[in-house]
């Protein structure tokens, strides 16, 4: 029988664990934005080696499952002499993985800008750097916001995988909860509700941004 | 680096690879079929069914695959759904993929020019044959790149099945590394392997796309 009691009781500890889910996905996207911008710049640069590197970066990180990347990072860091807590390894991996997708989002956004914009800026004598910081980037960032929210939703879901390296986020907490209550169905459904709640909020944010940008 | 362990565990890894490919193919095909049904039901079904399917799409897309698998595999027995790891994994992969495929089909159907369908109605074609002869062929061609793309994403999702002990490649590699303590090498090789697999599949997918959409390219 479905025990509504257990179902509602699990929300307390799972909500508490949700801060790690939010932390990993939030810091992950922040790191992803920074590295993604660098990779995007490399992909668009005039230097061939940089373009090659960016292509390799994107293809590797998009071609390898995140779970494999997580375990690889988890075992690789101590070997090369870096001892960081598991949470840091998780955030770094999620951020690096996200950077590949984000750099492609930005590349797409920059490519979608009408070339007339930067041509006009060049025609009135703006320096190349000013064209980038004042014309291209502001518009590209605004244009890519809905796609970035989408990426954040994907990251919230992907953060369930960091439970494997022992971080007590929603999924890990629900595993523990399921083991103590012997009611996995109720507990995991509660976990699903929490993820759904977070993602519906984010999806609403995405729709709002899209709506505002459509003006 | 100690790579000789891979020789001793060769047969086991090969079996795991087989299971991975099987899960991927079966999950993709079944997920596409379910997604197609959902998309068609959303287009032609009665309003309550359409609402219900919309909720289904939102719930599946809003929750992590891992949590869905846990609900199915560990929670299922409580309501009498007792499945082994492999069937549970396949069912999970099918259900997980279906709303994404449904959305891809929906946008593919929307891309079919309305004039085509109106023309078919005007010459008196019945609705089922409009679906079969106009909507599906045209919609599928425009949905193809997105279908290929999502199938590639599903390749990577199969490793998550290892967490509910489906004996696919990731699971076998994990077993090997706990027995030999070669965690780093094992995961490194696994990463390179998946990289190669995904690159190969996406290349094949691009070729398929150009072949099927050949007639759309204007001759110069």
What pLDDT is stored for residue B179 in this prediction?
A: 86
Cβ–Cβ gap A65/B66 under 8 Å: no
Q: Is the pLDDT confidence value at A1 over 80? A: no
What pLDDT is stored for residue A178 in this prediction?
A: 85
Which residues does chain B have within 8 Å of residue A75's beta carbon, measured at their own beta carbons? 183-184, 187
Arithmetic mean of pLDDT, B121-138: 92
Residues contacting A157, CB < 8 A, separation 6+: A195, A199, B63, B64, B65
Residues contacting B164, CB < 8 A, separation 6+: B69, B70, B73, B74, B85, B88, B89, B92
* Residue B1 resides in a domain: no
* Residue B43 resides in a domain: yes
A69 touches chain B (CB under 8 A): yes
What pLDDT is stored for residue B40 in this prediction?
A: 94
DSSP string, B184-212: HHHHHHHHHHHHHHHHHHHHHHHHHHHHH
* Domains (range + CATH), chain A: 18-213 (1.10.3720.10)
B83 compared with B2, residue with greater pLDDT: B83
Which residues does chain A have within 8 Å of residue B67's beta carbon, measured at their own beta carbons? 160, 170-171, 174, 188, 191-192, 195
Cβ pair A14, A194 in contact under 8 A: yes
Which residues does chain B have within 8 Å of residue A59's beta carbon, measured at their own beta carbons? 195, 199
A32 compared with B182, residue with greater pLDDT: A32
* Residue B136 resides in a domain: yes
What pLDDT is stored for residue B220 in this prediction?
A: 59
Q: Is the pLDDT confidence value at B29 over 90? A: yes
Cβ–Cβ gap B62/A79 under 8 Å: no
pTM of the model: 0.86
Which residues does chain A have within 8 Å of residue B64's beta carbon, measured at their own beta carbons? 156-161, 171, 195
Contacts 24+ apart (CB under 8 A), B119-127: B127/B44
* Residue B197 resides in a domain: yes
Q: Is the pLDDT confidence value at A215 over 70? A: no
Q: Mean pLDDT score of chain A, rounded to an integer? A: 88
Q: Is the pLDDT confidence value at B12 over 70? A: yes
A64 touches chain B (CB under 8 A): yes
CATH number for the domain harbouring residue B86: 1.10.3720.10
- The secondary structure element, H or E, covering residue A104 is helix A86-112
Cβ–Cβ gap B59/A59 under 8 Å: no
* Residue B125 resides in a domain: yes
B154 compared with A84, residue with greater pLDDT: B154
User: Closest chain B residue to A184 measured between Cα atoms?
Assistant: B75
**The tokens of A78 are what?**
């101590």
What pLDDT is stored for residue B175 in this prediction?
A: 87
Arithmetic mean of pLDDT, B140-159: 89
DSSP string, A119-177: HHHHHTT--HHHIIIIIIHHHHHHHHHHHHHHHHHHHHHHGGGGGGGT--SHHHHHHHH
| Separation between Cα atoms, residue A170 and residue B64, nearest integer Å | 11
| Separation between Cα atoms, residue B49 and residue B5, nearest integer Å | 54
Of B61, B71, B199, the CB nearest to A185: B71
Arithmetic mean of pLDDT, A66-73: 91
Which residues does chain A have within 8 Å of residue B74's beta carbon, measured at their own beta carbons? 178, 184-185, 188
Q: Is the pLDDT confidence value at B3 over 80? A: no
What pLDDT is stored for residue A213 in this prediction?
A: 74
Per-residue pLDDT tens digits for B69-119: 999 998 888 888 888 889 999 999 999 999 999 999 999 999 899 999 999
What pLDDT is stored for residue B116 in this prediction?
A: 92
Q: Is the pLDDT confidence value at A75 over 90? A: no
Domains of chain B: total: 1
* Residue B118 resides in a domain: yes
**The tokens of B38 are what?**
């959902």
What pLDDT is stored for residue A35 in this prediction?
A: 94
A147 compared with B49, residue with greater pLDDT: B49
Model confidence at A32, pLDDT cuts 50, 70, 90, reads very high
Arithmetic mean of pLDDT, B196-212: 87
* Residue B220 resides in a domain: no
Which residues does chain B have within 8 Å of residue A160's beta carbon, measured at their own beta carbons? 64-67
* Structural domain that includes position B139: 7-215
Arithmetic mean of pLDDT, B7-29: 89
Share of chain B above pLDDT 90, in %: 47
Per-residue pLDDT tens digits for A145-186: 888 888 898 899 999 998 888 888 888 888 888 888 888 888
What pLDDT is stored for residue A132 in this prediction?
A: 86
With b for 16 or more beta-carbon neighbours within 10 A and e for fewer, the B42-53 pattern comes to beeeeeeeeeeb
Of A63, A158, A175, the CB nearest to B198: A63
> What region does B60 belong to: left with phi over 0, alpha with psi -120 to 50, or beta?
alpha
Q: A–B: how many Cβ contacts below 8 A? A: 119
**Best of B67, B156, B164 to mutate (most A CBs within 10 Å, chain A):** B67
**DSSP single-letter state for residue A44:** T
* Residue B2 resides in a domain: no
CB-based burial label for A111 (10 Å; 0-12, 13-18, 19+): exposed
Q: Is the pLDDT confidence value at A211 over 90? A: no
What pLDDT is stored for residue A100 in this prediction?
A: 93
Model confidence at B218, pLDDT cuts 50, 70, 90, reads low
């Amino acid at each position: 029988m479905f025990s509504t009691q257990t179902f509602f009781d699990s929300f307390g500890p799972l909500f508490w664990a949700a801060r790690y889910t939010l932390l990993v996905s939030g810091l992950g996207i922040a790191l992803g934005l920074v590295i993604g911008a660098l990779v995007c710049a490399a992909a668009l640069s005039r230097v061939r080696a940089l373009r090659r590197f960016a292509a390799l970066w994107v293809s590797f990180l998009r071609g390898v499952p995140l779970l494999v990347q997580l375990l690889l990072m988890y075992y690789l860091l101590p070997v090369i002499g870096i001892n960081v807590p598991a949470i840091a390894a998780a955030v770094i991996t999620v951020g690096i993985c996200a950077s590949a997708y984000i750099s492609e989002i930005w590349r797409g956004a920059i490519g979608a800008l009408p070339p007339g914009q930067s041509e006009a800026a060049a025609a009135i004598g703006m320096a190349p750097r000013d064209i980038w910081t004042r014309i291209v980037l502001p518009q590209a960032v605004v244009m890519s916001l809905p796609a970035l929210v989408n990426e954040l939703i994907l990251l919230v879901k992907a953060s369930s995988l960091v439970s494997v390296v022992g971080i007590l986020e929603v999924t890990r907490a629900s595993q523990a909860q399921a083991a103590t209550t012997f009611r996995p169905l109720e507990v995991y459904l509660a976990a699903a509700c929490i993820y759904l709640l977070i993602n519906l909020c984010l999806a609403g944010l995405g729709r709002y941004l899209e709506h505002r940008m459509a003006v | 680096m100690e790579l000789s362990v891979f020789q001793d565990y060769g047969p086991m890894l090969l079996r795991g690879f087989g299971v991975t490919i099987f899960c991927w193919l079966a999950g993709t095909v079944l997920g596409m079929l379910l997604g197609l049904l959902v998309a068609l039901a959303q287009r032609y079904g009665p309003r309550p069914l359409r609402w219900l399917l919309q909720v289904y799409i939102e719930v599946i897309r809003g929750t992590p695959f891992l949590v869905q698998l846990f609900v199915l595999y560990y929670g299922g027995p409580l309501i009498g759904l007792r499945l082994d790891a492999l069937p549970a994994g396949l069912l999970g992969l099918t259900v997980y993929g279906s709303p994404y495929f449904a959305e891809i089909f929906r946008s593919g159907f929307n891309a079919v020019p309305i004039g085509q369908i109106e023309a078919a109605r005007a010459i008196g074609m019945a609705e089922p044959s409009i679906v079969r002869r106009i909507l599906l062929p045209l919609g599928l061609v425009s949905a193809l790149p997105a279908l290929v793309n999502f199938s590639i994403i599903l390749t990577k999702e199969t490793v998550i099945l290892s967490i509910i002990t489906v004996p696919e490649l990731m699971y076998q590699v994990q077993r090997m590394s706990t027995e030999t303590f070669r965690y780093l090498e094992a995961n490194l090789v696994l990463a390179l392997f998946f990289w190669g697999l995904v690159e190969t599949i996406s290349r094949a997918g691009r070729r398929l796309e150009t072949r099927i959409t050949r007639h759309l390219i204007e001759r110069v």
